[in-house]
Amino acid sequence: RSWPTRQNSKHLSHILDSLKRSSVLSEWDIPYEELEIQDLIGAGRFGRVFKGKWHGDVAIKVFNIETDNDLQLASFKTEVSMFRKTRHENLVLFMGACMKLPHLAIVTSLCKGKTLYDTVRDRRETLNMSRIVNIATQIAQGMGYLHAREILHKDLKSKNIFLENGKVVITDFGLFSVTKLIQYGERKDDTLAIPPGWLPYLAPEVITSLRATSQYTDSDLPFSQASDVYAFGTVWYELLVGDLPFKTQPAESIIWQVGKGLRQSPSNVQSRDAKDILMQCWKTQPDKRPQFSDLTQTLDRLPRKRLTRSPSTPLHLSRSAES
Ligand code: ATP
């Protein structure tokens, strides 16, 4: 009888791993027929989101994945196996997924509140500073949990944050892949379609890695915990100012400015502390940005009364802290 060679045992452990993964995954498999799909809520870069029923109200994200694309199917399953590790009150509840072609979908709890994007722009909404700090803290806590589990959001933005009776619910984490980017708009060689409102959340190291090509894979863009922190900085800016930085500027100009180390500063915000948080998150060097656990502590120490929120969009630019 022969002993297993090193190559054989590697092969064996690979088979065992994938068996284990598929049995874990099957616990989260929802047969597509069990879902009652109702109204369309909206369409994003990678598919459509429907309101539906599955043991109560749910949101169903149906993916446009080409049926013959094994790589996309594999990356979908990897994302699903990561989702089951997320249990935090500020993260949308993952309930399961339809994993059999041609129906690929993710089922989560239905967020009934408004997005942060709509909230900060609603003139009737009074966001005092203590509420702003409270919202930012909840976001930082949810994100800190994701990072502790080694999951990157990669697409943190105010449209992916819901507010439900004062509670923050973060959605769409880990779902970003550049495939989404390519699926936005038409597929053409040597062009990069940039979804509206995306660039202000992109860290300089990510922005400067964008290339005009349709051949991207997810790993081509250097997303990291630090790039999630940069995106949080932009959400903090929106909370303070009520709009996005570089709001009316064309994509080329944003890419150039951010690449050069220029950032928009919220000139009408009086508090140095609030501006400091922004500049820390928006630092050019990724390793100089704080972690979410640091941010939670900093937010907790903010003297809330001295902070004032600006109602108008400022136009000033400032250099990022270390450049
Ligand atoms: P992008 O593809 O650029 O991320 P998006 O965030 O608008 O754009 P989706 O994430 O596909 O795209 O969302 C489509 C719509 O569904 C949005 O209006 C979003 O607010 C809504 N939505 C997403 N998840 C949920 C949820 N769990 N509960 C309620 N509505 C949701």
pLDDT in single tens digits along all 323 residues of the chain: 455 566 666 666 666 666 556 666 778 889 999 999 999 999 876 779 999 999 999 999 998 766 667 777 777 787 788 888 899 999 999 999 998 878 889 999 999 999 999 999 997 877 889 999 999 999 999 999 999 999 999 999 999 999 999 999 999 887 765 445 545 544 555 667 778 889 999 999 999 988 776 555 556 789 999 999 999 999 999 999 999 999 889 999 999 999 999 998 887 788 899 999 999 999 999 999 999 999 999 999 987 665 555 554 444 556 654 44
Looking at residue 313, its pLDDT comes to 44
The beta strand positions in the chain, using DSSP E, are 36-43, 47-53, 57-63, 94-100, 103-109, 114-115, 161-164, 167-170, 262-264, 317-319
Question: Which of the listed residues 38, 40, 41 should we mutate to test ligand 1's pocket, taking the one with most ligand atoms within 8 A of CB?
Answer: 41
State in Å: Cα 209 to ligand 1 middle.
26
DSSP 91: B
Torsion angle (degrees, nearest 10) of CA 120, 284, 46, 91: -60
Count Cα neighbours of 220 within 13 Å in the Cβ-side half-sphere: 16
Question: Which of the listed residues 60, 171, 198 should we mutate to test ligand 1's pocket, taking the one with most ligand atoms within 8 A of CB?
Answer: 171
Beta bridge partners of 82: none
Residues 6+ apart with CB under 8 A from 232: 139, 140, 143, 156, 281, 292, 295
Of the residues 70, 118, 155, 220, only one is catalytic, namely: 155
Looking at residue 127, its pLDDT comes to 87
DSSP SS3 for 150? coil
Determine if ligand 1 sits within 6 Å of the CB of residue 254.
no
The residue written with tokens 């190291």 in the block is: 205
Burial category of 165 from C-beta neighbours within 10 Å (exposed 0-12, middle 13-18, buried 19 and up): exposed
Cα 289 to Cα 282: distance, rounded to the nearest angstrom: 7
Cα 219 to Cα 251: distance, rounded to the nearest angstrom: 22
Determine if ligand 1 sits within 6 Å of the CB of residue 169.
no
State in Å: Cα 317 to ligand 1 middle.
31
Beta bridge partners of 97: 29, 106
Looking at residue 153, its pLDDT comes to 93
Burial category of 56 from C-beta neighbours within 10 Å (exposed 0-12, middle 13-18, buried 19 and up): exposed
Question: Which of the listed residues 39, 40, 49, 178 should we mutate to test ligand 1's pocket, taking the one with most ligand atoms within 8 A of CB?
Answer: 49
pTM value is: 0.86
Reference 52, options 35, 75, 34; nearest CA is 35
ipTM: 0.96
Atom 5 in ligand 1: residue holding the nearest Cα: 44
Residues 6+ apart with CB under 8 A from 105: 30, 32, 35, 60, 61, 62, 63, 97, 98
State in Å: Cα 271 to ligand 1 middle.
33
Determine if ligand 1 sits within 6 Å of the CB of residue 171.
yes
Atom of ligand 1 nearest to the CA of 195: 3
The residue written with tokens 């502390």 in the block is: 273
Determine if ligand 1 sits within 6 Å of the CB of residue 284.
no
Is 155 labeled as catalytic in the residue annotation? Answer: yes
Determine if ligand 1 sits within 6 Å of the CB of residue 111.
yes
